[in-house]
Amino acid sequence: MLAALLIAAVFRVPLHAAPSSPVVLEINLDGVVQPVSADYVVQGIKEANRINASAILLELSTPGGLEDSMREIIGAIVNSRVPVITYVAPSGSRAASAGFFILLSGDVAVMAPGTNTGAAHPVTMGGMNVGKTEETKIENDAAAFMRSIADRRGRNAKLAEEGVRKSLSYTDQEALKNNLINAIANTPEDIFKQFDGKTITRFDGATTVLHLADARIEVYKMPGFKKFLSWVADPNIAFILGAIGLLGLYVEFTHPGMIAPGVIGAISLVLGLFGFHLMPINYAGVALILIGLTLFGLEAAFTSHGILAAGGVVSMLIGSMILINSPWPGARIRLTTSLAVTLPLAVITVLLVRFAWAAKMRKAITGEEGLINSLGVARTDLEPAGKVFVHGELWAARAEQRIPLGAQVKVIKIEGLTLVVEPVDDSR
């Protein structure tokens, strides 16, 4: 003991290290719930368990997203050894659709003032083989999943289920009053003050005490590349990139050598395809989009007085709206995005195809083809041979009948370097 005191005195080492403050790992789920954002959340929860954090703060601001990604996140939350606090923030944010499920799955559910949640009805929008029976099955499955979460967390299962079946939305005050959440808090620090020392029941029925006094927040950041992939994985962004890609490649194919449209188009199309690769695609939607593009091309080639173009717009709009085969509205292409892409694409495609078609059908004005049916003037008498002036040049010419000097002629054939001409009947 004496030796320990001497060492402590010489090296100024404290005999008892001060206890470190608890660590709360913050994870931000901002935007559509999709595979990239789900992987980020799951990895963050694993990191919190690895470092033995006191709690996880999962901050939500989402319109919803894909069911599989939502279930992956909820699975990680309910199986986490570290308690998870789900928190809708900042003010003005929402946790709608799939976000409602994630909010209620937390050990502690909190909302900031001025936020809302709910609207979790799994709306279908005309995907293949989806009838009334299938819609009912999807709704019942979602409702049962919500009841199981709410029951295990001791929340209002009836009202939670109505958020699914009736697509009800709740303000922060309504959610607190009806036992959907545990608290309303302005900041994470307010949450820590309210729940420090509180005993909570975990998903498996075990109890634990939260130690959050003077907690230090560590933010689990999404890597920059994953942020970019998460942006691309938004179905609305993927749809825009795909449209830019198709348009850029078409311009490059019709105007070889421009290079820039081809490069931009190829990159955009690959990124768009990557985004769609992460989503459940409805191939009826793909077919309708291709039909729409085809009708745009036909509108430029044939006179339909806009009927083909209108059909193309309708086909592409419907195709884009059902392209993502998900029952959750937040994972779909928005109507505003579809209109913003489809209408300009229709106009640009029709104009480009029309110009290309006109150029192809236009009679050549150079070479031998350009001389056929051209008009000229006889510079000598043609008896039957002589000289004619055509396209600013003097040519050797031959006619089947005599043509006097100064008469107007038309080229009907070319034989080597000699033009075969005939007189133009001025009386016509």
Tokens of residue 110, six digits: 């909190």
Rounded Cα distance between 208 and 199, Å, is 5
Using CA atoms in the order 228, 233, 234, 236, what is the torsion angle rounded to 10 degrees? 110
pTM greater than 0.85 (yes/no): no
pLDDT at position 158, please? 96
SS3 annotation, 165-232: HCCCEEEHHHHHHCCCCCEECCCHHHHHHHHCCCEEECCCCCEEECCCCCCEEEECCCCHHHHHHHHH
Domain 367-423 has CATH 2.40.50.140: yes
Per-residue pLDDT of the chain (428 residues; tens, 9 = 90+): 445 544 444 444 444 444 578 999 999 999 889 899 999 999 999 999 999 999 999 999 998 888 899 999 999 999 999 999 999 999 999 999 999 999 999 999 999 999 999 988 775 444 444 567 777 888 899 999 999 999 999 999 999 999 999 989 999 999 999 999 999 999 999 999 999 999 999 999 999 999 999 999 999 998 888 888 888 888 888 889 988 888 888 778 767 777 888 899 899 989 888 888 777 778 788 888 888 888 877 776 676 677 877 888 888 888 888 887 665 556 678 788 888 888 888 787 777 776 666 666 555 555 666 688 889 999 999 888 999 998 888 999 999 889 999 899 999 888 888 899 999 876 44
Reported as a single tens digit per residue, the pLDDT across 212-240 is 999 999 999 988 888 888 888 888 888 89
Whole-Å CA distances, 10 to 6, 13, 15, 210, 289: 6, 8, 12, 39, 79
The residues spanned by each domain of the chain are 18-225, 234-361, 367-423
Rounded Cα distance between 312 and 289, Å, is 8
pLDDT at position 326, please? 62
Under CATH, which number does the domain 18-225 receive?
A: 3.90.226.10
Rounded Cα distance between 287 and 99, Å, is 31
